[in-house]
Every structure is written in C-alpha cells, then in structure tokens.
Structure 1
Amino acid sequence: MPDLATLETLDLDELRVELAPLVAEAAMFDGWTGAAVDSAAQAVGLDPAVARLAYGVGESGAAMTMIAAWIARIDADMARALPASELATVKVRERIRRLVQFRLDALVGMEEALRRALIEMARPRNTAQSLKLGWNSADAMWRLAGDTATDLNHYSKRATLAALYAATLAVFAEDRSEDHAETRAFLDRRIEGVMRFEKIKAGLFKPKGERFSPVRLLGRLRYPAR
C-alpha cells in the first residue's frame, strides 16, 4: 500500500498511476466509478477530493482514465521486473511469453475488475482509446523483448501482439481452471502461431535472391546443376 507522505509529494499524473492498483481493487465492487476512487483514497488516508481531481471524476471519460492508469502501472511494473537485459538471455518467443504472463499474474484475484474494464473499453465511444492502450502495451513488450524494427515490421509486430494480448485477456477474465491453466495453454498456442507467422513473413521480405522460388526449384529438379 502506498505511503500517504509519498502520495502527497506526487503530481496528479503520478498520483493516478500510484493509486491505480487500489482503485482497481475497489472497482471489483464499485465498478470504475467515483466510489472506487473514494475507497482507494480512504484506504491510504488521502483526501478523496484530491484523488477525484486526479482521475477527473465527474467528467466524461473518467472510467477510462482510471483504467488507463491501471494499465500504465502494470506497464511500469513489468519494465522493472523484466528488464531488457534479463530477457536478452532467452529466445524471443520466451521473452514475449514471460512478458504477457507477468501481466496476467498481476491480474490474479482482480478478474472482476478486469471484466468490468473490458466492458468499459468495448463501448463504442472508447474504441479509439482502447486500441491505443493496447498498442502502447504491445510496444512496451516488444521494446523489452529487444525489438528495434523501424519498418513495416515495427507496426505488424505490435498489431499482432496487441491482438494476441487482447484475446488472452478475454480468456483469462472467464478462466475458472486451476492456476489459470486454460489461459496458459491458450497463450502458448497463440504465441506459437505468431512465431510461425513471423517466420513466414521474414521469408517473404528476404532480398529477392534469397527468397524461396517454386519456379527455380522446379528448374533445378529438371536441370540439376553439374
């Protein structure tokens, strides 16, 4: 639980992120509402009026502001727990699996808050912001995984991972299996599929002379090199 003295030294942007886990806990019962913000503030002895100001309670989009802060906190925790230097020792697929799994582990016990967040994010008025949040988290994961692509791959990798993560979250939110075994299996299958796609894509974007050519292969079979 954050220390009140520390919270009082933060600006509103920092306060939002620091208080976000407590708001998420309260959202399991109160939804992503002002009541959840009040509960979080009271839990640490913070003036609820200050917390409400930080999240824009009473303004349009306050719920998404709360959810975005929660996601930002998970992003930050992930970067601290799994620095790029540590992930560099394993294969790319394992880097991505660890990063996504860290995020899922952070949500254990918070499934109801997640379900309510997914409902809010699915509202038409929140579509653009939700897509941006997913993209940002995917970007954070790929950067920690060591991706330095700046071409089309930069965008395709992030779009693919954002879709994978969103699908995994949906499974996780409803998973009743022990230790979320169904989600883990789903994640492994999806990552395997993504890695196969990346391998095929890499082949398609090789220099012309290095690409697989069925015509050239048939020619070699018909007229073998001497």
Structure 2
Amino acid sequence: MVQIEPKQQEIREELLRAAMDHVAFDGWSETTYRAAVAQSRIDAQVARAACPRGAVDLALCFHALGDEEMLRRMAATAPAEMRFRDRIAQAVRFRIEAIEDKEAVRRASSLFALPQNAALGAGAIWGTADRIWSALGDASRDVNWYTKRATLSGVYGATVLYWLGDDSEGQEATWTFLDRRIDDVMQIEKVKAQVNESPLLRGLLAGPNWLASRIKAPGAHPPAGMPGHWAPEGPETSGGNNS
C-alpha cells in the first residue's frame, strides 16, 4: 500500500469533502476534481501535488477512509464468542455499513471498471481484504497469505455489487447474500483440508505444494512493483531471511 504524507492526506481529505457535493452529478471526474479545488480554495498546484491523478485519487481516498471506519468498528467489538467465519462476515458488513453515500460507490465502480483504472480498483479491494485479515490476526506468511486475501476480495467485491442493487429493508438481502458467499468459501477450505489429509491426493500434489511453499508473503522491503517475492531454496534462507 502506498504511503501518503500526513499533509498530503489532509489536503486529499479536504478536497474529498468538497468533491462529495459533485460526485452524484459528475461522478469521479475531472469536472468534480476542479470543482472541489475551487470550492476548497486550495492552491491548484498544491492540490495536484496531493492528487496527481485528480478525481481518481479522491475516489481512492474515499475508499481508504471507509476501510479506516471499518477498522474502528472492528476494534470496538469484542467477538470472543463468535465463530471465525462470523467474524469475517461481520468485518465485511462493517465495511459496507461504513459507506454513507451509495451513489459515490456506484460512481466509483464505473470509474474503476475503466481499463486504465482497473488495477487501482483491484488494489483498493485487495487492501480492504488485507486490512480485514490483518485485524483478525492472520499470521500466514506463505501462499495462504495470497489465497486468503484473493478469496476475501472476491467475496467483498461481489457483496458490494449486490448491495448496490439491494432495496430490501435493512439491506437484509445483502447480508443473506454475504452469508452464502462466506459459506461457499468455507466449503472450499473444507475440501482443501480433506485433500491434505488424503495420502493419495497429498502425494499427487507434492510437486504443486512444493512450488507453493516457495511463495512468501511480502516482507518489510519487497522488490519494487511486486506484491511478494520468491524464496530460493538454499542456506541463505535457513535463517528466515526471505527478502
């Protein structure tokens, strides 16, 4: 996740507050961005330094603030007696309930569906999944680090799309949809466990499993532009240094 300087973050949030008056009409567009700059009275060059991609950066800021609100709600809830699958479902629900402007999300969906913005949109959803797993204490550092976040990204993305068209009372249809998606994921995990317990299947998958074991989660200093890294087999990795 790209780190934003505190001052630049303040500027982005100020521009975002001004932009929200225009998103419903003009979407996350250059028109909205320029209106936000004018309304906030922030110097145009200062605003562009904080948001070099204009409204796209404002949309990403909007998403990130939703993630932060989700984390606050998770921290304020003590799920000691809750099943882990229910904790995941609760986190996704918190994230969706943190959204105060459905139209802004609908417009953001259109923005990040554009080919030039698709990677940024996928990265934002991945970031949400990563924050959920990290907040729930996920300690995986192997290929499971990726599969957990990829699976949850799919669940979250599908649930948001369903929620955008949901007009049921209290969004109950969305929460039912979410529970079904979580149950589907749990079935996949159950099958994986059964495969690993089977001597025959475990032998057949020895090669792919070895290959997967070489994949490691991002370290403190991952290679530039890469989400993770390859851990070569040898003495240099015996001490746990996978950078």
TM > 0.5 fold call: yes
Select which of 43, 46, 52 maps to 1:49: 43
* Equivalent residue, structure 2, for 1:15: 11
**What 5-or-longer segments of structure 2 have no aligned partner?**
1-5, 202-243
The answer as to whether partners of 1:82 and 1:99 remain within 8 angstroms in 2 is: yes
Deviates more, 1:32-41 or 1:157-166: 32-41
Deviates more, 1:111-120 or 1:84-93: 84-93
Moved over 6 A (4+): none
Q: Which has the larger radius of gyration?
A: 1
Map 1:133-212 to 2 at 5 A.
133-205=124-196, 211-212=197-198
The answer as to whether partners of 1:34 and 1:52 remain within 8 angstroms in 2 is: no
Q: 1:148 to 1:73 in 2, by over 3 A?
A: same
* Equivalent residue, structure 1, for 2:231: none
- Deviation at 1:81? 2.0
Letter in 2 for 1:13: Q
Deviates more, 1:138-147 or 1:78-87: 78-87
Ranked by relative contact order (alpha carbons within 8 Å, sequence separation 6 or more), the top structure is 1
The answer as to whether partners of 1:87 and 1:145 remain within 8 angstroms in 2 is: no
Letter in 1 for 2:155: L
Letter in 1 for 2:28: W
- Deviation at 1:122? 0.6
The answer as to whether partners of 1:100 and 1:165 remain within 8 angstroms in 2 is: yes
* Equivalent residue, structure 2, for 1:80: 72
Letter in 2 for 1:118: S
Structure 2 counterpart SS, 1:86: coil
Q: 1:40 to 1:97 in 2, by over 3 A?
A: farther
The answer as to whether partners of 2:48 and 2:54 remain within 8 angstroms in 1 is: no
Distance in 1 of aligned mates of 2:78 and 2:38:
38
- Deviation at 1:19? 5.3
Percent of aligned pairs with the same amino acid: 34
Letter in 1 for 2:8: L
Q: Which has the higher helix share?
A: 1
* Equivalent residue, structure 2, for 1:106: 98
Letter in 2 for 1:15: I
Distance in 1 of aligned mates of 2:17 and 2:182:
28
2:60 is equivalent to residue 64 of structure 1: no
Distance in 1 of aligned mates of 2:142 and 2:68:
26
* Equivalent residue, structure 2, for 1:224: none
- Deviation at 1:88? 5.1
The count of aligned residue pairs is: 195
CA RMSD, Structure 1 to Structure 2 (Å): 2.8
Normalising by structure 2, we get a TM-score of: 0.69
Normalising by structure 1, we get a TM-score of: 0.74
